[in-house]
Each structure stands twice: as structure tokens, then as C-alpha cells.
């Protein structure tokens, strides 16, 4: 009984690590300035350009973000992905997004996997009990 329960818990934990869903979640400027945890960051500035920075590739000093990242969208341009190194004043940023673990999406994916896994297990056990298994 305990072995089965522990196995189920371990399988669930492993599944969470394998299919854990991360997504960009919008935060306010105040939340960004006060945070001590610098996750992957995506910002949109007033000219509608989007910039993306990896977790350890930027710092915030005084009133600007300094670092190396990528410009991932430039309106009216075909160059949607190019390197960027420099600073962006916080006053020019319209939107801040952190890449964070999304519990709802993760649980949804795990539920779907468990559901279909259960159906497959029932079908396989039905085939085995009917004498069709090898």
C-alpha cells in the first residue's frame, strides 16, 4: 500500500518537472522595481519594440535596465530577432513580464496526461485479460 502511494507521488513529482509550464506573466513597474528575484524578462517600450533578457544577463540600476538580450519584435521591420546590448530607461517601458511557473497550465497538462494514461492502461489491461496479449 505504502509503496504504491510513494510511487504515485514520485511519478506525479517527476511529471511536474518534465511538463512544468512556464509563461510570461505581466507585472507592474512597482513590482519589478521591488523584486529581488530577476527571472527571464520581457519588456515592451513606448515605440512598441519588445526586448527579452535572460535571467542573469541584466541588472537594474537607478532608473534603467542594463544588459545584453535580444530585440524580439520591431514594428514595421523584418528583423524580428537581433542582439541588443545597452540600457533601457524604466520611464520608456510600458510593459514588464517575468517568465514564471504557471501552476494552472501545468496541472491541466498533467491531468490530460493522467487521463489518457488511465485510458491506455484500461485498454491494455482489457486486451491482456481477453487473451490477446503476448
- pLDDT at residue 130 is higher than 60: no
Are residue 55 and residue 109 in the same domain, yes or no?
no
DSSP 93-132: EEEEEEEEE-HHHHHHHHHHHHHHHHHHHHHHHHHHHTT-
Q: Are 114 and 86 in the same domain?
A: no
Q: Is 90 exceeded by the pLDDT of residue 91?
A: yes
Counting the structural domains of the chain, the total is 2
pLDDT of residue 16: 58
- Packed helices 2-19 and 103-129: angle between N→C axes, nearest 10 degrees: 130
* 47-79 confidence digits (pLDDT tens): 888 899 988 898 888 889 999 999 887 766 666
Grid coordinates belonging to 82:
537581433
Does residue 84 share a domain with residue 48? yes
Same structural domain, 39 and 83:
yes
Read off φ and ψ for residue 36, nearest 5 degrees.
-110, -5
Please provide the average confidence, as pLDDT, over all residues in the chain. Answer: 75
The DSSP H or E segment spanning 21 is: none
Q: Which three cell numbers stand for residue 44?
A: 515592451
What domain range includes position 11?
1-21+102-134
Q: Could you tell me if 52 and 83 are in contact, meaning their C-beta atoms sit under 8 angstroms apart?
A: no
On whether both 33 and 47 belong to a single domain, the answer is yes
Q: Are residues 96 and 113 located together in one domain of the fold? A: no
What pTM was computed for the model? 0.56
Amino acid at each position: 500500500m505504502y509503496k504504491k502511494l510513494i510511487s504515485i507521488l514520485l511519478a506525479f513529482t517527476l511529471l511536474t518537472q518534465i511538463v512544468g509550464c512556464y509563461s510570461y506573466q505581466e507585472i507592474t513597474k512597482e513590482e519589478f522595481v521591488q523584486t529581488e528575484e530577476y527571472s527571464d524578462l520581457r519588456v515592451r517600450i513606448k515605440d512598441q519594440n519588445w526586448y527579452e533578457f535572460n535571467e542573469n544577463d541584466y541588472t537594474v540600476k537607478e532608473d534603467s535596465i542594463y544588459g545584453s538580450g535580444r530585440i524580439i519584435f520591431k514594428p514595421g521591420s523584418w528583423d524580428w530577432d537581433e542582439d541588443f546590448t545597452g540600457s533601457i530607461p524604466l520611464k520608456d517601458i510600458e510593459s514588464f513580464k517575468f517568465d514564471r511557473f504557471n501552476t494552472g497550465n501545468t496541472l491541466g497538462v498533467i491531468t490530460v496526461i493522467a487521463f489518457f494514461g488511465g485510458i491506455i492502461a484500461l485498454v491494455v489491461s482489457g486486451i491482456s485479460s481477453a487473451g490477446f496479449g503476448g
